[in-house]
Amino acid sequence: MGEEGRVGCKTKKRHRFFKVFFPGLNSKQLEISPAFRRHIHCTRPASTCFLTGPSKNIWRVGMIKNEKGVFFRDGWEEFVRDHSLQTGEFLVFEYQGGSRFRVLIFDASMCEKEDAFDVSSSRVLDAAEGSKPRGKVKEEPFSATQKHECGCCPPWKGDSSPKAKRKPLKKHYMGVWISQRRPITKVEIDRAHHEAFSFKSIHPFLVQVMRKYDVYFGHTMSVPLSFSRRHLPTNRKMTLWDPTGKPWTVNYITCTGQCFFSGGWRKFALANFLEQGDACVFELIKADEIHVHIFRVVDETKPLIRKVGF
């Protein structure tokens, strides 16, 4: 189309800022670039905004304003976890007005992160709710018409109507564990991560920085979808070999676009004194066997303490 065809057409300008992700700095909160703040309206100390990821799903995140700046905080850790953000990945935030941002994620290949397009979460909002800054997140009940492809969710048997009585699911919560590790420094974090990301092998391998969900509670470790599709089987038991040469059996599960180590991972993490910020290299030596190399932020290890009351 020539220049004439564009006369009179006005395209609304979208303002953007970018951040390079570093777990030690950005895992719990992410600062909005100071020069970008003039484009957004944040007059209250705390408000809610909505981040639309590459998958088109929407995350509710708190926007906090204090004397140090403006930050994404409450809900940001979940966004980080769901997208398996890694050191050095590049995030572009496009402001869409009101309280809405669109997020693009680029990985080490300098291309958009492929597995980010398939991310889902139990707390994801739909597009309609994302336009409303208020209201409770509604979690949709599982539908009997949904297709089961993951192999870990049994199909619903019986009446699928809203009036049908369903037996409530029991919650299995394995507790909260507390670190005894001394305070750590950014230098120590950067050193451990540099060593891990400098790892080389003839075998496929994955570098993961431990998050609190991996080692302190929950105890499921997500695996990036791109790595899973290329190298890992579907829904089976796998063997993790720790640095001492001891084998550990864990369940590897793929479900609704997410992949993770579940049953057995908790025992592995606790026995190997894994802490938030430690980096693990998962080196695939056979189809169902992985050597785990641990790069600790602090070399001295102390067992975690189980929190009383859980």
Shared domain check, 302 and 181: yes
The residues near 108 (Cβ < 8 Å, ≥ 6 apart) are 86, 88, 89
Domain count, the chain: 2
Shared domain check, 302 and 195: yes
Distance, CA of 48 to CA of 35 (rounded, Å): 21
Shared domain check, 188 and 125: no
The confidence score (pLDDT) of residue 5 equals 44
Residue 102 lies in a domain: yes
Please identify which residue in the block is written with the tokens 């991560």: 193
Nearest alpha carbon to residue 174 among 110, 223, 217: 217
Shared domain check, 285 and 204: yes
Residue 150 lies in a domain: no
Tokens of 293: 């190399």
Domain that includes residue 112, residue range? 12-130
Residue 165 lies in a domain: no
Residue 135 lies in a domain: no
Shared domain check, 189 and 121: no
The confidence score (pLDDT) of residue 309 equals 56
Distance, CA of 46 to CA of 66 (rounded, Å): 9
Residue 140 lies in a domain: no
The confidence score (pLDDT) of residue 254 equals 82
Phi, psi of 38 (to 5 degrees): -65, -15
Among 130, 146, 166, where does a domain finish?
A: 130
Residue 227 lies in a domain: yes
Shared domain check, 112 and 29: yes
Q: What is the pTM of this model?
A: 0.53
Shared domain check, 302 and 186: yes
Shared domain check, 125 and 183: no
Residue 3 lies in a domain: no
Among 102, 130, 158, where does a domain finish?
A: 130
Residue 253 lies in a domain: yes
pLDDT digits (tens), the chain, 310 positions: 444 444 445 556 789 999 999 887 888 899 998 889 888 876 667 788 899 989 888 888 999 988 888 999 988 988 888 888 888 889 999 998 888 999 999 987 788 888 788 776 544 343 434 444 333 333 333 233 333 333 333 443 333 344 444 444 343 445 688 899 999 888 898 899 889 988 999 999 988 888 888 888 877 888 887 788 888 887 788 999 999 999 999 999 887 667 888 889 999 999 999 998 899 999 999 989 999 999 999 999 999 988 765 4
The residues near 273 (Cβ < 8 Å, ≥ 6 apart) are 301, 302, 303, 304
Which CATH number characterizes residue 217's domain? 2.40.330.10
Considering all CA atoms of the chain, what is the largest pairwise distance in Å, rounded to the nearest integer? 72
Tokens of 288: 């169902």
Shared domain check, 187 and 118: no
Shared domain check, 296 and 181: yes
Among 98, 130, 162, where does a domain finish?
A: 130
